[in-house]
Structure 1
């Protein structure tokens, strides 16, 4: 009887650990909310070569790496000065 209880506790522990892992794929709407963009802009980015996304029939999923991709692509150089 104790073995069954211990097995069930291990299963519950594994399920809890899986739910704590960060999400790897986002739909366009959720990614747009998190990135502070409009969904239309995210769909446009999905057409750019190299943007980390996956298409499944009509649905588009954006990978977690897309946050870093956007940051690298649109980051200004630190030593650049603007003329006033």
Structure 2
């Protein structure tokens, strides 16, 4: 058991909980620690994916701006005969 789970077990025993119930509660907390660890790992993965999308979005903004500028130049050119 981890330190936190041992502290929970000791606290339950000090509060007067029966031995088997204190052990069961401590074992249940082990599962919650693992669950939160998985959630943290998945959240980190999502955050890294969002960072990639933000970088690609910045590139797309520049591309759209360039295309818009090119279209503007073509429209302006159509009003001035050569």
Q: Normalising to structure 1: TM-score of the pair?
A: 0.35
Q: Which is greater in Rg? A: 2
TM-score w.r.t. structure 2 length? 0.36
More strand by share: 1
